[in-house]
Amino acid sequence: MSNTVTAPNIPILEVPITAEIESLRPHYTLERKEEVKARIRTLLKEQNAVLVAHYYVDEDLQELAEESGGYVSDSLDMAKFGNEHSAETLVVAGVRFMGETAKILNPEKRVLMPTLEAECSLDLSCPIDDFNAFCDQHPDHVVVVYSNTSIEVKARADYVVTSGIALKLVTWLGEQGKKVLWAPDKHLGRYIERVTGVDMTIWKGACIVHDEFKSRSLGKLADEYPAAAILAHPESPEEILLLADVVGSTTQIINAARDLPHKQFIVATDSGIFYKMRQLVPEKEFIEAPTHGEGATCKSCAHCPWMAMNGLHNLLHVLETGENEIHVDEEIRVKALRSTQRMLDFASAQ
């Protein structure tokens, strides 16, 4: 096993501050909120549109997606749902790579997003020119990229995966004796390498939300709650994953919260996930894994600033105006479709 981590310098990122993003949203009265939601439901119906949301977006959007016949899920199931649904318009509440993935798979559909400014630090950490050079240096490796990447990076990759199927796909490649070039999340890459033993060369990106979890403070919290199970998303640092009882995609850790006999859970992922966990098992207690502690510089504090840019106000706006449509270059889309379709095919064969 190589455990080599080589990559060019990662760009310095401008990270918005979640609390500032949230303070900029209009604060509706309950009555106004219901009016806005009702108007959105009407517009979705009139435009033969369906709302597909990630677990990390505002709970109003998650609620609206579910009650309007849309869907709330992890990034893999969002892609599958959009691909299988007959709506002419997909409204994707999440971050840009989720909207782009929907467009890669569904060029005939209109794909709208409440905001086009919702980035992802993993996507931003992997500029296509540097990534191409990285791939060129390792021509004997199979290129596997996380879905949290740009369409150009997907177009260069052999396979796209999400955290829901990354372990299985890399295991399968390892069984064929393949070496894997992995990008962009170093924590997820190292986790897969450790569990599968596959020879991997790993890019150095990180999620600015999960990277903030602190293992020493988590250990102390676990001592305070000895009966709690620890659930972690694999974008978290290795020291966190080593403390976790379950490591998995957002859907996988929600299912663990539902299915495990524990009554308390410490959860190391974006706090947006608590809405679904509490909805599914309201009798259980969910505790946020700590982002404070030694060396804390947290700007996100367990809530992704880019996910927080999605709100009822901008969802209504795009449905009223048709703004924020995702457009992609057709030649690049066709190339990105190859690796992205492989993700869906691999997932459905499991």
* Residue ranges that bind ligand SF4, judged by CB under 6 A: 95, 120-122, 148, 207-209, 235, 270, 304, 306-307
3-class secondary structure, 229: strand
Indicate which single residue of 207, 244, 266, 302 sits in contact with ligand 13P (rule: CB under 6 A).
Answer: 207
Q: Which is nearer to ligand SF4, 21 or 307 (CB)?
A: 307
Of 332, 277, 342, the C-alpha closest to 155 is 332
* Residue 155 binding result from ligand 13P, ligand SF4, none, given CB thresholds of 5 to 8 Å by partner type: none
- Name which position in 125, 150, 162, 324 contacts ligand 13P (CB under 6 A): 162
Q: Which is nearer to ligand SF4, 170 or 309 (CB)?
A: 309
Q: How far is the CB of 347 from ligand 13P (least distance, A)?
A: 11
**Using CB under 6 A, which of 68, 249, 324, 339 touches ligand 13P?**
249
* 196 contact choice in ligand SF4, ligand 13P, none (CB below 5 to 8 Å, kind-dependent): none
Nearer to ligand SF4, 55 or 141 (CB): 55
Which amino acid, one-letter code, is at 319? L
Nearest to 318 by CA among 15, 25, 7, 51: 51
Q: Is there a contact between 303 and 273 (Cβ–Cβ < 8 Å)?
A: no
Q: How many residues does the chain have?
A: 350
Shortest separation between residue 235's beta carbon and ligand SF4, angstroms? 6
CB of 28 to ligand SF4, least distance (A): 25
18 binds ligand 13P (CB under 6 A): no
Q: At what angle do helices 166-175 and 330-348 cross, to 10 degrees?
A: 80
The DSSP code for 273 is G
Q: Which of 235, 272, 277, 310 binds ligand 13P (CB under 6 A)?
A: 235
Q: Contact, 51 vs 73, CB < 8 A?
A: no
3-state helix, strand, coil in the chain (%, to 5): 45, 15, 40
Residue among 36 and 120 whose Cβ is closer to ligand SF4: 120
Q: Is 236 in the site for ligand 13P (CB under 6 A)?
A: no
Q: How far apart are CA 159 and CA 339, in angstroms?
A: 4
In 3D, which of 239, 264, 260, 235 has the Cα closest to residue 249? Answer: 235
Q: Which does 307 bind (CB under 5 to 8 A by kind): ligand SF4, ligand 13P, none?
A: ligand SF4
Identify the residue among 58, 74, 123, 212 touching ligand 13P (CB under 6 A): 74
Task: Choose between 196 and 269: whose C-beta lies nearer to ligand SF4.
Answer: 269
Other beta carbons less than 10 A from residue 350's beta carbon: 9
221 or 268, CB closer to ligand SF4?
268
Q: What are phi and psi of 148, to 5 degrees?
A: -75, 60
Give the torsion sign (CA, 104, 110, 112, 116): positive
Are the beta carbons of 167 and 350 closer than 8 angstroms? no
Structure-block tokens of residue 265: 């859970």
Residue 75 found at the interface with ligand 13P (CB under 6 A): yes
Residue 302 Cβ, how far from ligand SF4 at the closest point, in Å?
9
What is the C-alpha to C-alpha distance for residues 129 and 328, in angstroms, rounded to an integer?
Answer: 18
To the nearest whole angstrom, how small is the minimum distance from the Cβ of residue 304 to ligand 13P? Answer: 7
Nearest distance from C-beta of residue 272 to ligand SF4, angstroms: 9
The residues binding ligand 13P (CB under 6 A) are 74-76, 148, 162-164, 207, 233, 235, 249-250
